[in-house]
Structure formats: C-alpha cells, structure tokens
Amino acid sequence: MNTSSIAHRISTVRETIRDAALRSSRDPGEITLLAASKQVPVETILQAVDNGIKHIGENQIQEAEAKFGQSGIPQNKATLHLIGHLQSNKIRRAIKLFGVIQSVDSQILATKIDNIAGELGETVPIYIEVNLGSEFSKTGIRHDHTIDLAGHIARSKNLSLEGLMTVPPYTENPEGARPFFKALNELRSRVNELEAFRDKNLGLSMGMSHDFGIAVEEGSTLVRVGRAIWQPPNN
C-alpha cells in the first residue's frame, strides 16, 4: 500500500460521504470518518493519519497495544476507538489505551468501566452497542433494553454517553441495511427524550465500507470504514 493510493481512497470515501449527506440535506461536516484498522500495519495507519484521518478504530486490545504501545496513538494525531467486544478483565487497559469505547452493551459492563474510570480519575466517552438484528453471533444489547442502559449510564459518575452504535446483518445489497439504520436513528431519538440527554446531540456510529453511504442518508454521524480505505478496488 503506498501513500498516494491511500490518499486517493480516503478522498473517494469522503466524496461518497459528501454526496450522501447532500442527498439527505445534511452538512457533510457533521459526519466523522473513522478508519477501521484491524490487521492493518501501524505504518500504513500512520500514512492514513498523515492524509487527514483523525479517528482510528481497533477491534482488539492486544493488537492495538502491539501497534501503538500501551498509551495508544498520540492524542494530537488521532483518537483511538475500541470498536470490538470489551472483556471485563481488560477494562483498565482499554481506558488507558482508547479515547472512546464504542462497544458498551450491558449495565454490568458500564458499571465496571465507571468504577475503574473513577479509580483512574478519568471520564470515559462511550457508545451503546445495539444488536438490532438479534444475531446470536454478535455482541450488543437488545433494542428493547437500550433505554434502560442509557438511564443507567446517565446515573454514572465517570461515563459520557456519546451515542449509539450498531452493525446490521450483512446483505449483498447495501439497501438491506437501511431499515436497521432507520431503527437506530429512531432509538437515538428515544434516548434523547431522557432528561439527562435532552440537551446532548447524541451520535450514531453506523455504516461500514459496504453500506456507509446508506448510513449517512439515514443519519449516521460516524462511519467505520476499513476495506474501502486500505484495499484497492476489486480486492
């Protein structure tokens, strides 16, 4: 992978985001591009950062530590997000390494993060991961339990709810993801009705390489794009 090809692919992704935003009468500046970098070498990731990527997503703590050390990417370069499942015994490492945890899916996990964050003197930005497809193979809280979890987070001392995240069931046609993106947007509106979040503009982390244009049309504020950045077309 050379820098110029990565730069071109990042530009192409940003054009898709812009076009999708304009189709839905949105400001393209409202949408954050996160580069999902599972199994991507750190040298290549830093090339993307040099080409304007400000948010990096990793699935596993061990891999992120191997790439960036135990303190993560320097904060003046990019923010590191945990977008994979978080095991309770790795919470302390995650808080030290990641700027955002996008995979909170239970009150138990939220409480443990809150407690350890308090010990460390940190406030942790988090997303609630919602399993809208009720897929047993995926993590995420059920949609009908999301409001209760949001209320629990609102009562925490060291957590900052930034929004909701989902990974819809895969379909060959990206349009198949649209109903799930609509559903997450509607669920976000319900969370925003809670008193603690009425004045907060909660985000929506939804959309990946296959369907991020659809996600933007349906209100996504953060898209997690991997293959479309790192791999040439047809790979």
Each residue's pLDDT tens digit in the chain (235 positions)? Answer: 455 599 999 999 999 999 999 999 999 999 999 999 999 999 999 999 999 999 999 999 999 999 988 666 776 789 999 999 999 999 999 999 999 999 999 999 999 999 999 999 999 999 999 999 776 767 899 999 999 999 999 999 999 999 999 999 989 999 999 999 999 999 999 999 999 999 999 999 999 999 999 999 999 999 999 999 998 776 5
* Alpha-carbon separation of residue 90 from 31, 96, 127 (angstroms): 30, 10, 17
Residue 193 resides in a domain: yes
Whole-model pTM above 0.85?
Answer: yes
Residue 151 resides in a domain: yes
Q: How many domains does the chain have?
A: 1
Transcribe 165-202 into DSSP letters.
EE-PPP-SSGGGGHHHHHHHHHHHHHHHTSGGGTTS--
Residue 34 resides in a domain: yes
Residue 86 resides in a domain: yes
Residue 90 resides in a domain: yes
Residue 15 resides in a domain: yes
Extract the tokens encoding 184: 């997450």
Domain that holds residue 121: 3-230
Residue 235 resides in a domain: no
Residue 27 resides in a domain: yes
Q: Domain holding 36: CATH number?
A: 3.20.20.10
